[in-house]
Chain A
Amino acid sequence: MAFPRNEIDELKQSFKQLSAVTEGGTEFILIPSLMLPEGCEPQQADVLLCPTPRDGYVSRLFLSAKVVHKGPGQNWNASGVRICNRAWWAVSWNAIQPNAQPPAQRLAAILAQHLEAFRCKRN
């Protein structure tokens, strides 16, 4: 696995079934049954994290379903795209500014940033 071992281990403490999958030379992290932020329907989904640049984004998070939610990420710009023989959906979301020098982010931090797209903002 090309991802740092300690970062995978950190995620594995909560997501025991995660695995790395590769397609077209790109490595993804497949996480089954991730619990989505409160208010999402369905409440959980399989997700595919691409922590490297893709589609003009610094990183991307694909979900196994088009989730209904009240978070700020409402622009679904990937619908049913096929990766590793499955259909995936993704919202347009910049975990960090595209032009900014990306700080060295841990995989767990990148994943958490993408999930903000689906989180209702508190008052």
Chain B
Amino acid sequence: MANKIEVFVHTNGEAKTITIEDQETIEQLLKQAAPDRHAELELFVEEEHHERNRRLCDVGIRNRHHVHCRPPEHGKKVEISINGKPYRTHTGDNSVEHLRKLGGIPATDILSQLKDRKFVDLDNDAHVKVHGHEVFVSHPPSAGSS
């Protein structure tokens, strides 16, 4: 039985909410999300790439899931640093959720990007544009003032 689901599609830093049946294909989802450029995009669910002919329900896309679209060339892997360790990830938009998983950062810790002489705290639902060589640092919340 087909169910209507809402899918949050992130493309180039913007999120679009698409209502679609879960029996539809990724191709259809891409068409609805980016009518003018769907042919040049690929779809990733938690950084796993899925073919266009697959049904949403078969690749685990359920109601209120977040998925990411990007051109194939944006998927080029580059090196970043998380807590001093090197990791490889794709260029372009990376979800903070993905970066946390990659670096094994506990949900309670604060994740910051060290950039331009500043620590920028990253919200869990934010995205970071990765070009390569970005530095991320995590730490537990401070004990505070005494």
What are the nearest 8 A-B pairs in CB distance? A35-B118, A109-B139, A94-B143, A108-B137, A97-B143, A116-B142, A113-B142, A35-B117
Inter-chain contact total with CB atoms closer than 8 Å: 85
Residues from 94 to 126 in B contacting A, C-beta threshold 8 Å: 110, 112, 114-119, 121
Q: Is there an interface contact between B146 and A93, defined as CB atoms closer than 8 Å? A: yes
- Chain B residues with CB below 8 A from A93, complex form: 142, 144-146
Interface residues of B (CB under 8 A from A): 81, 83-84, 110, 112, 114-119, 121, 133, 135, 137-146
Q: Which of B110, B117, B143 is the one whose CB lies under 8 Å from A34?
A: B117
Interface centre among B112, B115, B144 (most CB of A within 10 A): B144
Which of the four size classes fits the interface of chain A?
35 or more
Chain B interface, >50% SS class: strand
- Is A64 interfacial (CB-CB < 8 Å)? no
